[in-house]
Amino acid sequence: MTSLKIDLSRLMGRIEALARVGARADGGVCRIALGDEDRQARDLVISWMRELGLSVEVDALGNVTGTREGAETGAPVMTGSHIDTVATGGLYDGNLGVLAGLEVVETLNDAGITTRHPIAVSFFTNEEGVRFQPDMMGSAVSQGSLDLEAALAARDRDGVSVGEALAEIGYAGAAEMKRARAYIELHVEQGPVLEREGVTIGAVESVQGISWTEYQIIGTSNHAGTTPLALRQDAGYVAAEIAVAARRIAKEFGGDQVATVGVIELDPGLVNVIARKARLTVDLRNTDEALLCEAEARMADAVADLAAREGVEITSKKLVRFKPVAFDLGVISLVEGAARDLGASVKRMPSGAGHDAQMFAPNCPTGMIFVPSKDGISHNVDEFTAPEEIEVGANVLLGVLLSLAEK
Amino acid sequence: MTSLKIDLSRLMGRIEALARVGARADGGVCRIALGDEDRQARDLVISWMRELGLSVEVDALGNVTGTREGAETGAPVMTGSHIDTVATGGLYDGNLGVLAGLEVVETLNDAGITTRHPIAVSFFTNEEGVRFQPDMMGSAVSQGSLDLEAALAARDRDGVSVGEALAEIGYAGAAEMKRARAYIELHVEQGPVLEREGVTIGAVESVQGISWTEYQIIGTSNHAGTTPLALRQDAGYVAAEIAVAARRIAKEFGGDQVATVGVIELDPGLVNVIARKARLTVDLRNTDEALLCEAEARMADAVADLAAREGVEITSKKLVRFKPVAFDLGVISLVEGAARDLGASVKRMPSGAGHDAQMFAPNCPTGMIFVPSKDGISHNVDEFTAPEEIEVGANVLLGVLLSLAEK
């Protein structure tokens, strides 16, 4: 247990300074990966890294790591996140994790502490996946779950590749991909759970697996007045039944299973015409791969039953599939311990969103620290976490990094 | 019972000739009310009326009536329908009723028959309601359920009024609105029932009442991964539940109750975002006004329950409301009798679509004759009724008109 504390005003100063790069008129931030605002933000964060005495390396995908020497050499204990945003981004998503890492470094510098293992702060290229897919690209390549060449070849809508865009902004580096001794990331929750429960710190146990399926339903367009119910092949009705089934199945599963139908489109989409076609998507998430597979199977059964009962043709396409990721029990305990040392409330919880940390989990002990998001809002200019919550989160990060760096 | 029969080839000849006015390249017809094709079609049908010796009158809304003298004077027994089409129209919707009426007149002329009461054949302005609303405009004004001035003032998207369009095509007439002694209309079913049941003639008992309601659902947009089910206000899920409730309520009512959700729109409509807003429409129809009111009330209850349970705000707007129309039992019996005299199968049935005949029902004994629509298709260039079915339908019309004209 350390009595060291981070300096909140210094951290908030960096958060605000970084938010001025790509600032939107409405108070938010638009800093799409590998655009000019991203370049400016990278230059700024690297200038801070250098001021703090970190040795800065840029790898071939533009991931940037600043390392603080330890008493021993070898792989560093790492923290970090990303500084790219969505088009309607806020100040905290990603940025908080990177800048809190720098604040921890400055706190150690001020206290004249040399840790046993090196400590590194990274920011990873294109976590958001707005301009180039997939998201979490930089951390995925860095940790070996995505091929470097494939990532460099990904193109935006204008045909520009990641490799070209990196060269353009001067961030096609030569450093090797960094492996970590351990990895810990501070991030805003992006959901409503901590705020609703009045808890300050989330000790993230896992990242939900994600399954996205698109269904196309082909029925028969007919007159809404003259076609008896028994003679209908109503694609719109079947779409609605699938959406209701998704919620029912998720509820029956309980736990952290969620299901979302965010897209329903009917064709022709007229008041008095039975829909001939419908398209909908089902987003299923669970932290347990076996349960997620079971939820997928239950959905498939429900859809097949509906197709048979209603006489429609339904085709499905898997759009996205990520397995759940479990974090290290030791790191989870360190997060809980660091929170309790500060007198802060803490709860174990899954992450419903994807994060750079999940790419490290197969390679080293990994964990995450969540702080509350007001009203659960993220990817939105109204994204907000209170300064006092940021302070607790950064101090938990300090405590966990110190523990990991001494192990 | 008459041994007279209509001449199918002569009737088909007129159907094909009329279909050449506004012919589409794909074999269908586009003859929007009060456009130049409508003018040409009117001119053609009036030329046939004159050839048949009918005295032609055009009223102030452009409804055209050709009257064949009877032994007595007074209000005629009327038949008719409309010659305007939707943009993707076929050959039969409306046109069949008008041209079968002319074929009956020519059959009577050839046989040298003078009926007791006059017989009139009409076509009514703007039944389809494509360019100007409401639909069934001409018959509604003619029979006093819609104000003439209001109809003349209705404007299309370019700001042109019905009155201006009528003057432009030369069909702003001076004749009085026609009242009928009785009214009978032959029309294609526009639904699949007769074909499915292998029945040739529908003796239409009633026109379904129509209730269109638009629902706007306001929920909360949130992350599909990080928002637990219990904390969601998912407008998309609620829309799906309303669509399922509409089907369930219609099924529980049984009889000829139908319910259709043809429009579902989600906002923002993204795979991984819980919908903030949804818009959907519910189309309810029943031939019994009390049951239709009850179905509306049941829907309103279901919607209110969902709003309370899911914590969303739902507003509703009535888009269309027509009461059901019951046809005259005497005329229904005449249709059944005329069909049986021809050895044709016949069944009583409601009409799910609106027709000019319904405007006559409050004023005089009224009925309709349906013939099958292949695959239930209408308002489509693939609309088709077999010539042998048209022949039976026109002969039923002949029989009913003769009976009504001798009463």
Q: A342 phi and psi, to 5 degrees? A: -90, 0
Residue (of A6, A9, A1) closest to A108 by Cα position: A6
Q: Report which DSSP code applies to B208.
A: -
Residue from A128, A188, A226 whose CB has the most chain B CBs within 10 Å, to mutate: A226
Return the bridge partners of A122, or none: A65, A80
Q: Are A259 and A295 in contact (CB under 8 A)?
A: yes
Residue from A221, A264, A284 whose CB has the most chain B CBs within 10 Å, to mutate: A264
Cβ contact B212–A271 (<8 Å) = yes
Cβ contact A281–B271 (<8 Å) = yes
Number of other CB atoms surrounding residue B174 within 10 Å: 8
Q: Are B237 and A244 in contact (CB under 8 A)?
A: yes
Cβ contact A225–B210 (<8 Å) = yes
Cβ contact A271–B229 (<8 Å) = no
State the residue for tokens 């992450």. Answer: A351
Q: Looking at beta carbons, which residues of chain B come within 8 Å of A377?
A: 222
Measured in angstroms, the CA of B227 and the nearest CA of chain A are apart by 5
Measured in angstroms, the CA of B225 and the nearest CA of chain A are apart by 4
Chain A CA closest to residue B215: A271
Residue from A223, A238, A257, A319 whose CB has the most chain B CBs within 10 Å, to mutate: A223
The whole-number pLDDT of residue B201 equals 98
Q: How would you class B342 by CB atoms within 10 Å of its CB: exposed for 0-12, middle for 13-18, buried for 19 or more?
A: buried
Question: From the list B261, B269, B351, which residue is nearest A263 (CB)?
Answer: B269
Q: Is A140 helix (H, G, I), strand (E, B) or coil?
A: helix
The whole-number pLDDT of residue B1 equals 66
Percent of chain B exceeding pLDDT 90 equals: 92
Alpha-carbon distance of A124 to B232, in angstroms, equals: 31
Give the Å distances, CA to CA, from B109 to B18, B65, B71, B291.
Answer: 22, 17, 14, 46
Measured in angstroms, the CA of B390 and the nearest CA of chain A are apart by 19
Q: How would you class A366 by CB atoms within 10 Å of its CB: exposed for 0-12, middle for 13-18, buried for 19 or more?
A: buried
Chain A CA closest to residue B228: A258
CA–chain centroid gap for B238, Å, is 33
Q: Residues of chain A whose pLDDT is less than 70?
A: 1
Q: Looking at beta carbons, which residues of chain A come within 8 Å of B208?
A: 225
Length of chain B: 407
Cα dihedral A374, A375, A381, A387, rounded to 10, equals 0
The whole-number pLDDT of residue A88 equals 87
Q: Which two tokens stand for residue B45?
A: 């049908």
Q: Are B393 and B369 in contact (CB under 8 A)?
A: yes
Measured in angstroms, the CA of B58 and the nearest CA of chain A are apart by 32
Q: pTM higher than 0.90 for the full model?
A: no
Q: Are B60 and B148 in contact (CB under 8 A)?
A: yes
Q: Looking at beta carbons, which residues of chain B come within 8 Å of A262?
A: 224, 236, 266, 268-275
Return the bridge partners of B317, or none: B214
Residue from A272, A316, A374 whose CB has the most chain B CBs within 10 Å, to mutate: A272
Chain B CA closest to residue A274: B262
Return the bridge partners of A212, or none: A283, A320
Residue (of B240, B385, B386, B250) closest to B310 by Cα position: B240
Number of H helices, E strands in chain A: 12, 16
Q: Looking at beta carbons, which residues of chain B come within 8 Å of A271?
A: 212, 260, 262-263, 281, 283, 319-320
Q: Are A210 and A322 in contact (CB under 8 A)?
A: yes
Q: Residues of chain B whose pLDDT is less than 50?
A: none
Question: From the list A260, A269, A377, which residue is nearest B262 (CB)?
Answer: A269
Q: Looking at beta carbons, which residues of chain A come within 8 Å of B193?
A: 226, 228, 231
State the residue for tokens 């590194």. Answer: A120
Chain A CA closest to residue B370: A226
Cβ contact B263–A263 (<8 Å) = no
State the residue for tokens 């230059």. Answer: A43
What are the start-end ranges of the E strands in B69-109? 77-81
Number of other CB atoms surrounding residue B269 within 10 Å: 17
Return the bridge partners of B318, or none: B213
Question: From the list B190, B236, B243, which residue is nearest A226 (CB)?
Answer: B190
Q: Report which DSSP code applies to A303.
A: H
Q: Is A289 helix (H, G, I), strand (E, B) or coil?
A: helix
Residue (of A400, A406, A367, A397) closest to A117 by Cα position: A406
Beta strand pairing status for A182-188 and A77-81? Answer: parallel
Measured in angstroms, the CA of A40 and the nearest CA of chain B are apart by 29
Alpha-carbon distance of B27 to B38, in angstroms, equals: 17
Q: Are B53 and B63 in contact (CB under 8 A)?
A: no
Type and span of the H or E element at A392:
helix A387-406
Instruction: List, in order, residues 6 or more apart from B387 with CB less than 8 Å away.
Output: B8, B12
The amino acid occupying position A236 is: G
Q: HSE-up of B281 (CA within 13 Å, CB side)? A: 19
- A-B CB pairs within 8 A amount to 210
Terminal C-alpha separation, chain A: 13
Q: Are B105 and B52 in contact (CB under 8 A)?
A: yes
Return the bridge partners of A203, or none: A348, A369
Crossing angle, helix A36-51 and helix A162-169, to 10 degrees? Answer: 60
Residue from B264, B282, B381 whose CB has the most chain A CBs within 10 Å, to mutate: B264
Q: Looking at beta carbons, which residues of chain A come within 8 Å of B251?
A: 229
